[in-house]
Amino acid sequence: MNKNLETITNLSEREKEVLTWSKRGKSSWEISAILDITERTVNFHINNIMQKLNAVSRTQAVAVAIEKGLITTD
């Protein structure tokens, strides 16, 4: 299997949830309140997402995730 596809399928449901809220313009603090987790945990998820998607920013990670069909544009 293509390594890139393996990486993409390794996004957890929580990571997808964090990405979706990030796509909606929420800050790490806001996401932490919405998901009832710490801001540090949100940032941990964001950093993992960025690594998995080879993104250099949160915005690029959201764009790549939409392009790959990992999150929707609604």
Sign for the CA dihedral angle at 37, 30, 45, 47 comes to negative
Q: Is the pLDDT of residue 3 over 60?
A: no
pLDDT of residue 7: 44
Q: What is the pLDDT of residues 60-70, one digit of tens each?
A: 999 999 999 99
pTM given for the model: 0.84
Domains along the sequence of the chain with CATH? 3-67 (1.10.10.10)
Q: What is the pLDDT of residues 4-54, one digit of tens each?
A: 554 445 899 999 999 999 999 999 999 999 999 999 999 999 999 999 999
Q: Is the pLDDT of residue 72 over 70?
A: yes
Phi-psi group of 37: left, alpha or beta (phi > 0 → left; psi -120 to 50 → alpha; rest → beta): beta
Distances (CA, A) of 25 to 20, 29, 44, 51: 9, 11, 18, 20
